[in-house]
Amino acid sequence: MSSCSSQPQTHVVQTVSISYTQLKDKGADLSAKIEEGFGPNGLGILSIADVPGYSSLRQNLLHLSPRLAGLSDDQKRDLEDPDSRYNFGWSHGKEKLESGKPDTLKGSFYANPVLDKPTSDPALIQRYPSYCGANIWPRSALPELEPAFKPLGKLILEVGMLLAYHCDLYAFQGMKMLEDDGLEQILRRSRCHKGRLLYYFPAKHSSCSQDGESMSSWCGWHTDHGSLTGLTRAMFKKDAVEISCPDNAAGLYVKSRSGQLVKVVYGEDEIAYQIGETTEILSRGRLCATPHCVRAPLGEAAFGVDRSTFALFMQPDCDTTKREYVKSSCRTAFCGNLRRLRINSQFRPCAYLFLLLAGFGTKSSSFRRWCIFINS
């Protein structure tokens, strides 16, 4: 075995799993599992099992990923949308790796699975081009893509809504919350959900590059800034034949609240969901987002292997505002006279200000001196 395929010193953990039958029962008490997966001591991820129709929809879409990436340069160029910062249609080499180099290891196709054109308001389109733009489908070059992409995205969204309902029951116990202001209703009102079909190109040689040796060689360390991200398990192929992942050390890694690196695994027929920073803010920290990355397979067995997967980013509408939810026993935070702020996931510092408004402390003295905490 090649030395570059050595495994990192990490724990492997199976996600907390909830059956679809339990999830769709609004009378079920899932608070213990929600807390175990999403709570302050969780890994920010859990999975839903036995979702009717999911397996075939996953197969249908992921099998198209290599064909999409294999379109001619001209055909893929027709699918690019610079005005949306390449957040609709085809994107390749537009992001950067942690090393600062352009990320040519993977290509992405972005689309809204619910609405082809979320809005016709030119002001919103200009202000939020990454969220309010129109879908671009390869209806001539790959007509199968649209009818495979939309049903999978819609199913992951609907299952995510059921999960959001139970998250609200757990997160807002004892809080004054208006009926339409929970996570579920915020997501149901949104026009801006975004699906991303990813294709990781096969390694052209089996030696290890500097980027390939890093833990985050396929996807850099990050924390999702939306509300809830739905994930399929990846599909690996070699010479167009589906295979198992060739390296046990490859996969999704999460950094726990204590700083421990954990490899997270879930079943092929399960949908995984990760908490984003917006939900952490909305829930006042009862539901927690965690940093994560994806490690590529290494060694001789990884030569010529590609990877396809799909993510659905469930997020508030572009002009959603956040109310303060006050729990009688907790502190209320003020920052000047700002009581309401606009959620705009393009402006990441806003997330940290929300944390302060929601009553969170911080180790940063520069942040602390902006806030006055008053006992409620």
Segment 32-39 shows an average pLDDT of 97
* Predicted pLDDT at 204: 72
| Nearest residue to 325 (alpha-carbon basis) of 347, 357, 300 | 357
* Predicted pLDDT at 323: 55
Rounded CA gap, 52 and 267, in Å?
15
Residue 353 φ then ψ, to 5°:
-65, -35
Residues whose CB is less than 8 angstroms from the CB of residue 367 and which lie 6 or more positions away in sequence, other chains included: 352, 356
Q: Which two tokens stand for residue 329?
A: 């026993």
Q: Compute the mean pLDDT over every residue in the chain, rounded to the nearest whole number.
A: 82
Does residue 154 carry a pLDDT above 90?
yes
Q: 85-116 pLDDT, tens per residue?
A: 999 999 998 877 666 778 888 999 999 999 99
* Predicted pLDDT at 364: 34
What's the number of CA atoms in the CB half-sphere (13 Å) around residue 314? Answer: 29
280-293 burial, b for 16+ CB within 10 Å, e for fewer? Answer: bbbbbbbbbbbbbb
CA angle 359-256-264, nearest 5°?
Answer: 130
| Total domains, the chain | 1
Q: 232-242 pLDDT, tens per residue?
A: 999 999 999 99
Looking up residue 191, the CATH number of its domain turns out to be: 2.60.120.330
244 band by pLDDT with thresholds 50, 70 and 90: very high
49 with 270: CB under 8 angstroms? yes
* Predicted pLDDT at 23: 99
What's the number of CA atoms in the CB half-sphere (13 Å) around residue 97? Answer: 18
190 with 228: CB under 8 angstroms? no
Segment 318-334 shows an average pLDDT of 47
* Predicted pLDDT at 256: 87
In a domain, 224, yes or no: yes
User: Helix 31-38 crosses helix 145-171 at what angle (to 10 degrees)?
Assistant: 110
Range of the structural domain that residue 143 is part of: 18-324
In a domain, 1, yes or no: no
* Predicted pLDDT at 179: 62
**What does pTM read for this prediction?**
0.83
Inter-CA distances, 98 with 86, 102, 206, 210, 212, Å: 19, 9, 21, 11, 12
* Predicted pLDDT at 181: 76
In a domain, 317, yes or no: yes
